[in-house]
A and B are shown apart, each in its own frame.
Chain A
Amino acid sequence: KQEVTQIPAALSVPEGENLVLNCSFTDSAIYNLQWFRQDPGKGLTSLLLIQSSQREQTSGRLNASLDKSSGRSTLYIAASQPGDSATYLCAVLHMDSNYQLIWGAGTKLIIKP
């Protein structure tokens, strides 16, 4: 059974710092992995999608990596800003369940001005 874990559950850093959020999954048989952002009381916004054959994806100050063999992904945020404060969720699309994204519980990120 695929399980997705995100550590830490919460993180608070000063503005301007570079930071890394972690996501691990137990079964490497995935199609892809996605990182999402959720603002309080709002829906989810897809940030980056990494196909299983890829090692990383970049969008602006965000860089996501995927190491399928070790079951790990990281989301790197450069030069953090207060507007980056949100909950970040990762999800994997597992090969044994075509439509079901398996979700981590998220990391709540606070960037202090």
Chain B
Amino acid sequence: SQTIHQWPATLVQPVGSPLSLECTVEGTSNPNLYWYRQAAGRGLQLLFYSVGIGQISSEVPQNLSASRPQDRQFILSSKKLLLSDSGFYLCAYGLAGVGQETQYFGPGTRLLVL
């Protein structure tokens, strides 16, 4: 069976500091990977998705970036955090083909930028 891990669970960072959130998937190969952000009281916003190693697509222009250095590892980064980056960040994976998959979510990272 597959499992998905995210860390850290919570993070408090000052404005202007760097960010690195990590997501790993176990028990499968070549999953589609996603980073979402959920602002308080709002729906999920897709930030990045990846269909393979080194392949990253960005949905929303921002000061965040994503990388996929290994098949089952997805990293969300920022060089300088903004106050507006605060939120709940969720990583997800999908297994089936385009248009048919369901997505499975990690436990999330709560980020507070002060």
* Interface residues in chain A, defined as those with a beta carbon under 8 Å from any beta carbon in chain B: 4, 31-32, 34, 36, 41-46, 49, 51, 89, 91, 93, 95, 98-101, 103-106
User: A45 vs B104: C-alpha distance in the bound complex, in angstroms?
Assistant: 7
Q: Mark B23-38, 1 if CB is under 8 A from A, else 0.
A: 0000000001010000
Q: List 24 A-B contacts (CB under 8 A).
A: A4-B43, A32-B102, A34-B103, A42-B108, A43-B105, A43-B107, A46-B102, A46-B103, A46-B105, A49-B102, A89-B43, A98-B98, A99-B34, A99-B46, A99-B98, A100-B59, A101-B44, A101-B46, A103-B43, A103-B44, A103-B45, A104-B43, A105-B43, A106-B43
With A41-B110, A43-B90, A43-B108 as contacts: A105 and B99 at CB distance below 8 Å? no
Chain A residues within an 8 Å CB radius of B6: 43
Chain B residues within an 8 Å CB radius of A51: 100
Report the tally of A-B residue pairs with Cβ distances under 8 A: 57
Other contacts beyond A43-B6, A43-B106, A106-B43: 5, CB < 8 A:
A41-B88, A41-B110, A46-B102, A46-B104, A89-B43
CB distance from B37 to the nearest CB of A (A): 11
CB pair A34–B44 under 8 Å, yes or no, is no
Q: How many residues of B are counted as interface, with CB atoms below 8 angstroms from the partner's CB atoms?
A: 27
Chain A residues within an 8 Å CB radius of B100: 31-32, 51
CB pair A44–B57 under 8 Å, yes or no, is no
A101 interface neighbour in B98, B103, B108, Cβ under 8 Å: B103
CB pair A99–B49 under 8 Å, yes or no, is yes
Ranked 4 nearest A-B pairs via Cβ: A103-B43, A44-B105, A43-B105, A31-B99
CB pair B57–A99 under 8 Å, yes or no, is yes
User: A27 vs B104: C-alpha distance in the bound complex, in angstroms?
Assistant: 24
CB pair B32–A99 under 8 Å, yes or no, is yes
A98 interface neighbour in B34, B44, B99, B104, Cβ under 8 Å: B99
User: A76 vs B50: C-alpha distance in the bound complex, in angstroms?
Assistant: 34
User: A98 vs B97: C-alpha distance in the bound complex, in angstroms?
Assistant: 10
